Amino acid sequence: MTAIENTALGRLEKEGRLLNAIFKGGTTKQGRFGFRGDIALKFQAQVADEKRPPHYSIEQVLTVVQEGESSIPVLAGYLHCFAYLADVANVLDGALSPDGSYFMFCNNIDLLAKYRIKLRGITFNALPCDESTVWKEMMDLVGVDKNDIKKLDAPGKLDYLLDAAKDVDMSYDEISYEDGLKRMDPVRNRNENRPV
């Protein structure tokens, strides 16, 4: 059984940042630990012992880590605002690797835009996300058909998708974070146009 403490997610777990887990545990690969859920980026001030939800998080995170390794090899998630990318780089500082594959789907970047942005020596792929989920966007991005993974269990699906994601060629335009801030659109309300 792979213990989270011995992986690159150990510190985030200790800091109470791994929230709303759909899946959190060993996967089908030896010594590998998977996580699907949210990673809190900014906490609200806590009053007494009341537990408050974070101000904002990387939502719908998909990641796997290897026991005994200090960095996260691949991670995908959703950011409600592109500007939060700086917080991602700060909070995950030391847990990401220059050779890793990191995908951030953002609510407020142009729907045709795909950027590569370097922060703290780490390259992030910033992609648009509209009315979809990170899981579905990643399936499309890496070209995995749902029939390919239909017979696998939850950890098996996560392994399959993220192994495929490591080999995706990302030759997107490289821009600076500051440039990305200038180009970003206003944050769209996720709940508008939804039937009540």
47 or 194, greater pLDDT: 47
Amino acid letter, residue 190: R
CA distances from 22 to 44, 109, 119, 124 (A): 23, 27, 29, 24
Q: What is the pLDDT of residues 182-192, one digit of tens each?
A: 999 988 776 66
- In this predicted structure, the answer to whether residue 2 has a pLDDT above a threshold of 80 is no
Amino acid letter, residue 156: G
Q: What is the pLDDT of residues 33-87, one digit of tens each?
A: 999 999 999 998 877 778 788 999 999 999 999 999 999 999 999 999 999 999 9
- Rounded-to-integer distance, Cα 100 and Cα 102, Å: 6
User: pTM of the prediction?
Assistant: 0.93
38 or 130, greater pLDDT: 38
CA distances from 91 to 12, 75, 148 (A): 9, 14, 34
- Rounded-to-integer distance, Cα 77 and Cα 61, Å: 4
Query: Under a CB-based contact definition with an 8 Å cutoff, are residues 166 and 101 in contact?
Result: yes
Written as one string, the DSSP assignment of 20-68 is EEEEEEE-SSTTEEEEEEEEEEEPPPPPTT-----SEEEEEEEEEEETT
- In this predicted structure, the answer to whether residue 196 has a pLDDT above a threshold of 60 is no
pLDDT category at 27 given cuts 50, 70, 90 is very high
Q: How many CB atoms lie within 10 A of CB 189?
A: 9
CB-side neighbour CA atoms (13 Å) of 185: 15
Mean pLDDT of 113-120: 94
What 3-state DSSP class applies to 117? strand
